[in-house]
Amino acid sequence: MNAIESTALVVAVTIAFFAWNRLPVVVVAIGAALSLWALGVVTLEQALAGFGDRAVMFVASLFIVSAALDKTGVTAWAGQILIAKAGESKNRLLVIIMAAAGALTALISGGGAVAALMPVVVLAAIRLRQSPTLLLMPLAFSAHAGANILLTGAPKNILVSEALEDNGLTGFGFAEFALVGLPLLAGTMLIILLLGKRLLPAQGNARLPADFSQHAQTLVEHYGLTDGFFHLRVRASSDLVGLGSAELDLSRHGRVELVSALDGASGRPRGVEAVQEGDYLLVRGEGEAIARLCAERHLAPRDEADDGAAAGALLNQRTGLAEVVIPPRSKLIGQAMHPGMTTESGDLIVLAVQRAGVDLDIESPTLRAGDTILLKGSWRALDLRLADPDVLVVNSPDLVRRQAVPMGAGAGVALAALGALVLLLATGFVPPAVAALICALALIGAGILSVEEAYRAIHWTTIILIGAMMPLSIAMVQSGAADLVARQLVALTGGGGPTVFLAGLFLLTACLGQIMSNTATTMLVIPIAMAAAASLGVSPRPILMSLCIAGSASFMTPIATSTNLMVMGPGGYAFGDYWKLGLPLMIWFFVMAVFYVPLIWRF
């Protein structure tokens, strides 16, 4: 077999295996790359070069930026706004998501837009009890349409504009794409609203995280913490200054219970140390009694918890809650534990201890296997101490913080990094991969994410797929297979006039775009389009704009674009799920490219 036949065989077998969906997609993708090398179509360096490609680094960095937004509570904050705007209407939520994706993609790449919005969409789906499978693919597909609104929407837009300038013509203006991009996005949104529920899988294969938006209130009710909790700051004039925790008798002020004395700077429990000015007392009791206590002992409520709401006082930007279970063979079995005491490390406070859902007997507070303990402390202390094998954590504090604490610690840094990324991508000051890497490294350097957390944030299936499928694009071009198909198209459709040629050009570009990047596809077809315009004696502007739209019609497979791949894992989609909604959208893009474009840009 020659190179063209070998490439065609690998392409056909790869697509068949993807559609069969019985083998892991990474196995099929890597197998395709190795097959091309084994058949002599590409060199070994070319077969493996995709894993070091800038697109791979770009997408990997976007996952890190997305994880930082999620960890710092920016996602929770944006999700609250999104849910507030959508109300109880799932269709309104879908419209907001698609409009946001289209608008953001017009300024930056589709990958950047999807990375920023994907965790928000998943969170909103959980809160509204809707499957993310009904939202994530529309998110990616709306980004495809939004890429045609402005010149900065995608590299292919710049390529077709530069092609005009290289031939002595005026390139497309920055906002000229909006003449087709806006109706393209509107039609995409309408089709998804009408057909999405019928054509998208009702449930994906991905396991979704639990909804922790009301986690603190749930724990307060479960453990019977009905009285309000207050953080009271110790003033310089207070008679409590200099007293140890054991000497702080607050009972004469009514129903007031001291939970713990906290260091004002670090938030750690004071233990046996004397209370100092600026420290905080975590107390539990009725509002009127707390008011008398503050007046008589010269204490002041801390701003974030001065309303006494138990949930807000226990779970906020500084401190959190964790529920743990005593496992069999734990060293804690037989030890005494009661509310108000601190753990051995000294930085966690015991709020409640229960056995079979009932508070532990205060006369016999020794622990047994299966007992549950409610702990309070700083988020850092919870992260560090709960790795102890002597306890089993019911819900990860990290997951709780991400959902329940909007705009938490580091949120400003994460937003600044996202803003810098948007600015760098919109201005093109540095290549996209460099921009994303700079922002990802800045987030790790600032301590927002550790190196281990950055590794875990990357969806490695997506990264491997992108890297492993790049040799296929190289083989299509290098073997001459793509060029052969393109020239045959010109020969077949050129005699039917410009409209027939536009139809053939769209089909060629869109079909190639299902297995090649739209940038590579556009670069391949541009010289053919320019030559065809010259031979037909028509303006190349409508032909290149039609080519640009066709390059965005990558809906049929998950390997068509990085945005399709990015939502595949979180949405739990199979390879065969994409074409069902992708087909009507491709028909809409065909109508726009072949019949609408010539009305705006005349032949």
Residue (of 419, 422, 441) closest to 432 by Cα position: 422
Distance of alpha carbon 163 from its chain centroid, rounded?
A: 35
Q: How confident is the model at residue 206 (pLDDT cuts 50, 70, 90)?
A: low
pLDDT at residue 210 in the model: 64
Length of the chain: 603
Question: Is the separation of the CB atoms in 227 and 255 below 8 Å?
Answer: yes
Question: Is the separation of the CB atoms in 435 and 64 below 8 Å?
Answer: no
pLDDT at residue 342 in the model: 80
DSSP string, 466-498: HHHHHHHHHHHHHTSHHHHHHHHHHHHHGGG-H
Question: Is the separation of the CB atoms in 204 and 131 below 8 Å?
Answer: yes
Over residues 455-498, the pLDDT tens digits come to 988 878 778 877 887 787 788 778 888 777 767 777 787 667 78
Q: How confident is the model at residue 309 (pLDDT cuts 50, 70, 90)?
A: low
- Is pLDDT at 131 greater than 50 in this prediction? yes
Question: Is the separation of the CB atoms in 244 and 272 below 8 Å?
Answer: yes
Q: What is the SS3 assignment for 276? A: coil
E strand or H helix that includes residue 224 = none
Distance of alpha carbon 192 from its chain centroid, rounded?
A: 21
pLDDT at residue 139 in the model: 93
Q: What is the mean pLDDT of residues 242-266?
A: 79
Q: How confident is the model at residue 305 (pLDDT cuts 50, 70, 90)?
A: very low
- Is pLDDT at 426 greater than 60 in this prediction? yes
Fold of 321-385: Alpha-Beta Plaits (3.30.70)
- Is pLDDT at 306 greater than 50 in this prediction? no
Q: How confident is the model at residue 302 (pLDDT cuts 50, 70, 90)?
A: low
Residue (of 217, 153, 256) closest to 548 by Cα position: 153
pLDDT at residue 542 in the model: 92
Residue (of 5, 68, 7, 148) closest to 476 by Cα position: 7
pTM, rounded to two decimals: 0.69
**Which of the residue ranges 201-210, 432-441, 469-478 would you say has the lowest mean pLDDT?**
201-210
54/517 Cα distance (integer angstroms)? 13
- For the chain, give the percent of residues with pLDDT over 70: 93
- Is pLDDT at 249 greater than 80 in this prediction? no
Contacts of 241 (CB under 8 A, 6+ apart): 234, 274, 275, 276, 277
* Same fold flag, 213-317 and 321-385: yes
- Is pLDDT at 191 greater than 80 in this prediction? yes
Over residues 557-593, the pLDDT tens digits come to 887 887 888 888 788 888 888 999 999 999 999 999 9
Residue (of 583, 346, 467) closest to 51 by Cα position: 467
Output b/e per residue, 56-80; b: 16+ Cβ within 10 A: bbbbbbbbbbbbbbbbbbbbbbbbb
Domain boundaries, the chain: 9-208+460-600, 213-317, 321-385
14/515 Cα distance (integer angstroms)? 10
* Bigger pLDDT: 153 vs 276: 276
Residue (of 307, 254, 315, 246) closest to 275 by Cα position: 246
Q: What is the mean pLDDT of residues 364-368?
A: 86
Contacts of 344 (CB under 8 A, 6+ apart): none
E strand or H helix that includes residue 234 = strand 228-234
Q: How confident is the model at residue 11 (pLDDT cuts 50, 70, 90)?
A: confident
Q: E strands along 297-404, which residues? A: 299-301, 319-325, 348-355, 358-359, 372-378, 392-393
**578-591 helix and 178-199 helix, angle to the nearest 10 degrees:** 150
172/161 Cα distance (integer angstroms)? 5
- For the chain, give the percent of residues with pLDDT over 90: 24
Q: Which of 13-27, 134-148, 509-523 has the highest mean pLDDT?
A: 134-148
Angle at 390 between CA 384 and CA 394, to 5 degrees: 70
556 phi and psi, to 5 degrees? -80, -25
Q: How confident is the model at residue 344 (pLDDT cuts 50, 70, 90)?
A: confident
Tokens of 475: 């083989």
554/562 Cα distance (integer angstroms)? 10
**110-127 helix and 90-107 helix, angle to the nearest 10 degrees:** 160
Output b/e per residue, 525-553; b: 16+ Cβ within 10 A: bbebbbebbeebebbbbbbbbbbbbbbbb
Alpha helix (H) residue ranges in 298-431: 310-314, 379-385, 397-404, 411-427
Q: How confident is the model at residue 599 (pLDDT cuts 50, 70, 90)?
A: very high
- Is pLDDT at 304 greater than 50 in this prediction? no
Query: Which residue matches tokens 């409610």?
Result: 374
Rounded CA Rg of the chain: 30
Establish how many alpha carbons lie within 13 A of residue 399's alpha carbon, considering only the half-sphere containing its beta carbon.
14
Tokens of 86: 């959508």
7/475 Cα distance (integer angstroms)? 6
Give the C-alpha distances (Å, rounded to integers) separating 471 from 26, 195, 293, 296, 476: 14, 35, 73, 77, 9
pLDDT at residue 267 in the model: 72
Question: Is the separation of the CB atoms in 58 and 111 below 8 Å?
Answer: yes
Q: What is the SS3 assignment for 270? A: coil
100/92 Cα distance (integer angstroms)? 12
Q: Which CATH class is domain 213-317?
A: alpha beta
Over residues 64-116, the pLDDT tens digits come to 887 888 788 887 787 778 778 877 778 888 999 999 888 888 876 677 678 77
